[in-house]
């Protein structure tokens, strides 16, 4: 598995991809030829949250209360920027996702009404032939 490949979970803060406070991000694809991966942020459930994929406490070791995958904010992230963020403490590798969690989040990305079309198209192209094994 690539350092920032499919199934990785990251705690990101203060990068172009995230809010200033640290958030859990799940990487859904392996790096493409341009050195990009597809990531989604996990947030605490609120009344306005995307309900496509809800995560219970313990589904990933970092998740301690009901959370939601924010598909509307899915991003293509440059591996080089993630590596730089890891070098200066803004990115921390966490336990990988389980194959089942990775499968659920990938499937949710493709059906969520909040997923932006170009992200959905990119995901379909990238996920063809990729395994759900983390």
pLDDT in tens, 94-132: 999 999 999 999 999 999 999 999 999 999 999 986 666
pTM for this predicted structure:
0.91
pLDDT of residue 65: 94
Handedness of CA 16, 20, 81, 129 (dihedral sign): negative
pLDDT of residue 73: 94
Distance CA 117, CA 134 (A): 25
The closest of 3, 47, 43, 54 to 19, measured between CA atoms, is 43
Query: Which residues have CB under 8 Å from 124's CB, separation 6+?
Result: 110
- pLDDT greater than 60 at residue 59: yes
For 10, which DSSP code?
E
pLDDT of residue 49: 92
Structure tokens, 100:
């089942």
Tell me how far apart the terminal alpha carbons of the chain are, to the nearest angstrom: 8
- pLDDT greater than 60 at residue 67: yes
Compute the mean pLDDT over every residue in the chain, rounded to the nearest whole number.
Answer: 91
- Secondary element (H or E) of residue 61: none
Mean pLDDT, residues 76-98 taken together: 94
- Secondary element (H or E) of residue 57: none
């Amino acid at each position: 598995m690539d350092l920032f490949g499919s199934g990785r979970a990251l705690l990101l803060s203060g990068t172009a991809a995230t809010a200033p406070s640290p958030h859990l991000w799940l990487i859904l694809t392996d790096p493409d030829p341009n050195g990009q991966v597809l990531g989604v942020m996990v947030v605490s459930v609120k009344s306005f949250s995307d309900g496509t994929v809800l995560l219970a406490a313990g589904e990933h070791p970092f998740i301690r209360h009901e959370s939601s995958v924010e598909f509307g904010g899915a991003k293509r992230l440059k591996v080089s920027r993630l590596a730089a963020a890891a070098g200066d403490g803004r990115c921390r590798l966490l336990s990988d996702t389980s194959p089942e969690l990775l499968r659920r989040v990938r499937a949710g990305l493709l059906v969520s009404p909040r997923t932006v079309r170009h992200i959905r198209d990119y995901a379909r192209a990238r996920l063809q032939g990729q395994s759900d094994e983390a």
